[in-house]
Amino acid sequence: MQRFAGRTALVTGGGSGIGQATVLRLLAEGATVGAADVSAEGLEKTTALATETGTGGRLSTAVLDVADEQAVRNTVDLAVRGLGHLDVLVNAAGILRGAHTHDCSLELWNQVIAVNLTGTFLVTRAALPALLATGRGVVVNFSSTSAEFGHPFMAAYSASKGGIQSFTHSIAQEYSKQGLRAVSVAPGGISSGITNGIGTLVPSDIDWSLLSKMSPAIGEGLGSPAAVAGVVAMLASDDGAFITGTEIRIDGGAHQ
């Protein structure tokens, strides 16, 4: 499929996990992609993977901390100028930090909110003029199953992802008459840098049985980042033309 031939996309969090898989999927379908990530090493890996598949010529990268307002403005502006126009924005950048809520420091809370929620806002705000100029711009934001289901020890993360869903609904309505679509994906039980390292991101003394609901009901383990990337590509393409102001849960039936 070449659903994105002649179209452009900017993907944050493109240096690892689901963000990286999304970059590679959009490239495979013909898009010209700008990938941003806080990790230069991660972006180098993404570039190497794209080069292996013969799509690296349509990929540009930029190191970016999405919580840095001025850096976001500069990076998005440069990306749009380099791409020529912007059809799709995918906000995949995010972090997870866990704590017993009664022990959660304001520093930890603010860090998670700054990257996940404020970062999504900052990048979207900077990209909106270019997205609206196309008359059919698409924003795909990354929420999580934690936004709607109780994931203990992740209060800051859950709050940030719930905020992303509300933000997505708001802009979907606000810019609907200008052709913009905005959708959230809510992954759960996906193998990524966050989930694979969860043991080091939550307190060591937690009751792991409280996290049992996060296990997929189908398959034999965690889902792949590629499974989420496929849904993102559908939503961002014309196949998702009648989908906006909602969220799509991708969790292998873990939260039925």
Residues 206-255 pLDDT 10s: 666 666 666 776 776 788 999 999 999 999 999 999 999 999 999 888 77
| Set 157, 163, 187, 229: catalytic member | 157
Q: Which helix (H) or strand (E) holds 62?
A: strand 59-63
pLDDT value, residue 253: 80
Name the packing angle between helices 155-174 and 119-134 (round to 10°).
20
pLDDT at 201: 64
Phi/psi at 220 (5° precision): -120, 25
Distance (Å, rounded) from C-alpha 4 to C-alpha 166? Answer: 28
Neighbours of 146 (CB within 10 A): 23
Report how many domains make up the chain: 1
Q: Which of 127, 120, 174, 111 is nearest to 143 (CA)?
A: 120
CATH at 148: 3.40.50.720
Residue 144 lies in a domain: yes
- Please tell me the predicted confidence (pLDDT) of residue 205: 72
Q: How far apart are the C-alpha atoms of 202 and 154, rounded to whole Å? A: 8
Q: Does the annotation count 175 as an active-site position?
A: no
Residue 254 domain-assigned (yes or no)? no
Range of the domain at 216: 8-249
59 in Cβ contact with 8 (< 8 Å): no
Question: Is there a domain that residue 62 lies in?
Answer: yes
What pLDDT, on a 0 to 100 scale, did the predictor assign at position 254?
75
Radius of gyration of the chain (CA): 17
What predicted TM-score, i.e. pTM, was given to this entire model?
Answer: 0.92
In the predicted model, residues of the chain with pLDDT beneath 50 are none
Which residue in the block uniquely carries the two structure tokens 């109780």? 150
CA distances from residue 141 to 38, 86, 159, 239 in whole angstroms, order as listed: 18, 16, 15, 17
Is 28 a domain residue? yes
Flag whether 3 is in a domain: no
pLDDT at 218: 77
Domain membership of residue 51 (yes or no) is yes
Residue 254: alpha-carbon gap to chain centroid: 20
Q: Is residue 130 part of a domain?
A: yes
Is residue 158 in some structural domain? Answer: yes
Distance between CA atoms of 8 and 66, rounded to whole angstroms?
Answer: 20
